[in-house]
Chain A
């Protein structure tokens, strides 16, 4: 055994441990301070569908107010789970909670609409032709009944496109997702078979296909897989140069997921708690797979020893997002909220309380 001098070793160990311990103490102190000092950080998690918009909004908000909003896009299912477990200040979801889910929460939970988005059907074919699709074709592809791209049904609808003899690679989400909810909610409305066999939810029992994590993962898989087809928030397809299909809506028009078509889809009666599904819209020029996306917060903000400052900071953020924040939506292909909906959202935010008292007067 070759040895360093004993003293040396002890010295090294001592220096190391003192250094580490010091850092530990320091970080502990900082932790304590942060709970009493001014709130500088809010934590949110959930939907990947509006992540592009949120990351822009929160970046601007940080520059303007210094408030850090840490948002992790873990999927709408995750947003619902984590707000239920109270591990985040707000959850984000593109699926509103069902009455049954609301009962599972032991405190009233509020939905605040943030923007509208469209779920696009994107695909990977040679030369990326522009395709038309009907609800029936989409359902059959996702039920595994149409297996090849040169299927007569697809060909008949798109006579100008030369389809290769290529298998359709169905891609869906592997995680709990509001995009999935919007998509299957649509399929349930257009197909009885889907409604009875598969149902709707943030995760469903897919009859076939590959799973990608998040809108990012699905886009990535479709992009990498020849013959792939997937459903993603329209911005993800656009940013990656993937084509999107025009879809036949209830009135029989083929509509592409443009902003105006999304806004039109939302032109219906909206309840005061804003929980509404706008898929398969009646509007004649509306895109049929559109959806609101919401932030979820507790109505009573005094839980888990949260400070009033924190609740105030959260309310300020929400207020900013439905007003000033809206200007960033269109550039990123999300439809901003209609003034009518902003009014509803304002009322919801005003009902947020701390110790039973309204935070916003």
Chain B
């Protein structure tokens, strides 16, 4: 009996210690980022975000072009993704909630989100880039092929299933009696969707969009492969650019100066904080929805 009691204690200790390790990793993760970026933070401070210099020769670093590139690609991809996300959400959340079509669609969207980003980048490089270039030549634009627009298209495609599956779950939570009340008033199905279901599941949709945004902000490989890696604020949507993630992927192993490296980690810290905030917000909204049901 005594032995068993001891085991219980040991067992609980194992639980606590392991869980604490996870917590420790999380805290240490954050601290490492801060420590390693200190020299850049103290040198550039907030000017880091407003300067467009990225000059390893004269050791002047400013992140504005990458921040603009990151925001442009992310929000453009959200914009492109939105109609499709909305469609999938309604189709799976209301029109086909069960049965063969729903299964097939659900399976397809699940598969899309599991295709590695480097494979999507590969396809982008050899199919989408020539296609965009053809379009640019036809319309007399600089035929880069690669650039903000191409990257956003690929990103949109990657975040659609993710955002849609979260939003769809929210739609399915709409209570039956609410819908039936609307039907009994003579509303068509579309009217029910538009006037009852969407307002009801609004916060779920917002959460889906937020979490998708978090994903688009941090996506690295696909973007690195098709964005053109150019250190300027993009002039238009077809210009080449760079995102925070792609600049880190390109330059981390080869940054020769300490300040250079530190500035890259400063970028990583910024990316970390933004995505963490967006994710927590998205998850918080989802949790609130769950509690309400």
Contact = CB atoms under 8 A, between A and B. Distances in A.
Interaction A to B: yes
B20 to A, nearest CB: 23
28 contacts: A75-B253, A77-B251, A77-B254, A81-B255, A101-B256, A174-B229, A174-B251, A175-B254, A176-B254, A176-B255, A176-B256, A198-B57, A200-B57, A201-B56, A201-B57, A204-B57, A205-B53, A205-B54, A205-B55, A205-B58, A206-B231, A210-B146, A210-B229, A210-B230, A211-B240, A213-B229, A224-B133, A226-B143
A134 interface: no
B154 interface: no
Contacts of A221: 146
A199 B254 contact: no
A129 interface: no
A102 interface: no
B228 interface: yes
A80 B137 CA distance: 40
A77 B250 CA distance: 11
A82 B261 CA distance: 12
Contact of B143 (A175, A198, A225): A225
Interface of A is mostly: loop
A174 B143 CA distance: 19
Interface in A73-92: 74-82, 84
Given A169-B144, A176-B56, A210-B144, A202 B254 contact: yes
B137 A203 contact: no
B256 A211 contact: no
B232 interface: yes
Contacts, number: 100
B256 A77 contact: yes
Contacts of A212: 229
Given A77-B256, A82-B253, A169 B143 contact: yes
Interface string A141-169: 00000000000000000000000000101
B145 interface: yes
A176 B250 CA distance: 9
A13 interface: no
Interface in B96-150: 129-130, 133, 137, 142-146
Nearest to B224: A213
Contact of A226 (B137, B231, B242): B137
Interface in A294-308: none
Contact of A176 (B53, B142, B229, B251): B251
Interface residues of B, number: 30
Contacts of A80: 254, 256
B66 to A, nearest CB: 12
Nearest to A80: B256
Interface string A115-156: 000000000000000000000000000000000000000000
Contact of B129 (A101, A206, A224): A224
A206 B133 CA distance: 23
Interface of B: 53-58, 129-130, 133, 137, 142-146, 224, 228-232, 240, 242, 250-251, 253-256, 261
A227 interface: yes
Contacts of A81: 253-256, 261
Given A176-B251, A204-B55, A211 B143 contact: no
A225 B256 contact: no
A139 B240 CA distance: 22
A198 B56 CA distance: 10
Contacts of A200: 57
Contacts of A203: 56-57, 251, 254, 256
Contacts of A84: 256
Nearest to A45: B253
Given A78-B253, A101-B256, A175-B254, A205 B142 contact: no
Given A167-B142, A174-B250, A209 B256 contact: no
A15 interface: no
A76 B56 CA distance: 14
Q: Which 3 A/B pairs are nearest by Cβ-Cβ distance?
A: A211-B229, A77-B254, A78-B254
A247 to B, nearest CB: 24
A189 B40 CA distance: 32
A227 B136 CA distance: 13
A75 B143 contact: no
A208 interface: yes
A76 B253 CA distance: 10
A203 B60 CA distance: 12
A268 B42 CA distance: 46
Contacts of B55: 204-205
B142 A169 contact: yes
A104 B194 CA distance: 65
A203 B229 CA distance: 13
Nearest to A77: B254
B271 to A, nearest CB: 18
Given A81-B255, A204-B56, A227 B240 contact: no
